[in-house]
Amino acid sequence: MTPEALLAMRDPLGAPVHPLIAQILLVVTYVLHIFFVTTAIGSLLVGLYGLGRREENWQRLAKVAIRLSVQATGLGITMGIAPLLFVQVIYDPAWYTATTLMGLWTTLFIPVVALGYLFLYILYLRGNLAGVGYVALALLLLAGFTMHSLANAGLYPSRWVEWYAPGGVPDTTGTRFVGYDLPRFAALLFGQAALSLGVMLLLFAWYFRRREDVPRDFLAFVEGLSRGALRLGAVLFGGFGLLWALTQGRELGLALPVALVALVVAGLFYLHAPRAKAEGALGTLGLYLGALLLVGILREGMRVAALGRMGYSPLAYPFVWDWGSLLFFVATGLAAVPVTVYLAQVLYASGKSKEGGDPSSGVESFGDLGVRLLVGWFLFYLGLGVFVLVRNLGA
C-alpha cells in the first residue's frame, strides 16, 4: 500500500463538514459509547458472580447488576452509532479496508450483538439462568473483540496487502482476525469495565440513599464493593496498559504516551478508591469521564500518528460544507438535549420513594419546552425535505 493509493481511496465527494469537527465529535461520542459498553460488561460479570452466592446482599445486587447490564448494553449499542459514523467520514480508507479483510466477522457483528442482547434479556426476565448469562457474555465479548480488531487493523496500511494475500495467495474468506493487540483489548475492556462498574455502583448507592425501603446495610455493601471495583480497575488498567505500551505502543513509536496515560489513570483511581463515597458519586463520575476522554484522545492520537506515516492526515481530508446536513444535526441536538435532561430529572424525582414522586413545576415546564422543540424539529425536518425535493425537481 502506497501513500498515493491510500489517499486515492478517500471518498471523492469529501466530508460534509470540516474534518476537525468530525474528529472532535468522534472522540466525544466514543467516550459515551465505551462508558456504557464497559458498564454492561462489568455489571454482567458481577451479576453472574452474585447469582452463585447465597448471601442476601449478593442475590439482591445480582438482580440490580443484570438489569443494569441490559440497559447499558442498549445504550452502548445506540451510542456506538455516532463514533462509527464519524470514523467512516474521515477514515474511510482504513475502516472499509479493515471490514473487507475481516469480511465474515464484519457480517456477523450485528447478529452476534443481537443474539448476545437476546440472551442477556432472557437472563434478566428469568433471573436464575446463569448459563444463558455466560452465553450472552461470550457473544458480547466476541462482538467487542471484532470491533477492536477492525479499529486496530486500520492502523497498519503497510500490512494490508500481506493480510489480504499471505504468501502472495489472495485470501478472500475474511475469516481471520488481524491487527488485534490483546493487552490493549484487555485494558480498554476489562480494566475500564471494573472502573465503570465501580462508578455505577457508587451512583446506585448515592441515588437510593434517600429511600427508606432500601436497607442501609445493602447500600453500605454496594458502596464498599464500588471501592473494590475501582481499585481492581486501576490495577487492571495500569497493568494491561503498560503491556499495551510495550506491544502496540512500542511498535508505533508511542510507548511513552501510552504508558503515561495508563499510569495516570491507574494511579488516579487507585488513590481515589479508598476515599470514594456515595455522597461524592457525581464527582467520581466526572473524574471518570475525564479519564475516558484522556483515553479517547490517546486512541485518536495513535490513529493519527500511525496513518500519518503513510502521508494520511484526517485534517487534510477534502470537505464541502453540507449545510442541510449540518442544520439537521444542530436541530436534532437542540431538540434532543432538553428532552434527555427532562427525562433524567423525572427519573431522579421518581426515585425519591418507593411510590415514586412528581417532578416540580419547573421540571414540567422544561418538559413542555422539550415537546415544543420536538414539534419544531419535525416541522424543520419536513420543511427541509420538501425544500430539497422541490429544488431537485426544478433542476
Instruction: Give residue-wise pLDDT tens across range 268-320.
Output: 999 999 999 999 999 999 999 999 999 999 999 999 999 999 899 999 999 98
pLDDT tens string 63-84 = 999 999 999 999 999 999 999 9
3-state secondary structure 299-355: HHHHHHHHHHCCCCCHHHCCECCCHHHHHHHHHHHHHHHHHHHHHHHHHHHHCCCCC
How far apart CA 46 and CA 374 sit, in angstroms, is: 39
How far apart CA 160 and CA 250 sit, in angstroms, is: 20
- Lowest average pLDDT, out of 66-75, 126-135, 347-356, goes to 347-356
β-bridge mates for residue 319, sequence order: 15
At 15, is the secondary structure helix, strand, or coil? strand
How far apart CA 265 and CA 369 sit, in angstroms, is: 39
Whether the per-residue pLDDT at 352 is higher than 90: the answer is no
C-alpha cell at 263: 499510569
How far apart CA 249 and CA 255 sit, in angstroms, is: 4
β-bridge mates for residue 15, sequence order: 319
Burial label, 306 (beta-carbon count in 10 A; 0-12, 13-18, 19+):
buried
| Residue 311: alpha-carbon gap to chain centroid | 29
Averaged pLDDT of the chain: 90
Q: How confident is the model at residue 359 (pLDDT cuts 50, 70, 90)?
A: low
pLDDT tens string 150-180 = 999 999 999 999 999 988 889 889 899 999 9
Q: Which of 344, 296, 183 is nearest to 288 (CA)?
A: 296
Whether the per-residue pLDDT at 333 is higher than 80: the answer is no
How far apart CA 226 and CA 220 sit, in angstroms, is: 10
How far apart CA 121 and CA 115 sit, in angstroms, is: 10
Whether the per-residue pLDDT at 376 is higher than 90: the answer is no
DSSP 48-90: HHHHT--SHHHHHHHHHHHHHHHHHHHHHHHHHHHHHHHHHHH
Provide the Cα torsion 295, 298, 303, 305; round to 10°.
-170
β-bridge mates for residue 16, sequence order: none
Q: Which of 204, 151, 181 is nearest to 34 (CA)?
A: 151
How far apart CA 29 and CA 24 sit, in angstroms, is: 9
Q: What is the pLDDT of residue 360?
A: 67
pTM above 0.75, yes or no: yes
Whether the per-residue pLDDT at 134 is higher than 90: the answer is yes
Which amino acid, residue 272?
A: H
Q: What is the pLDDT of residue 395?
A: 59
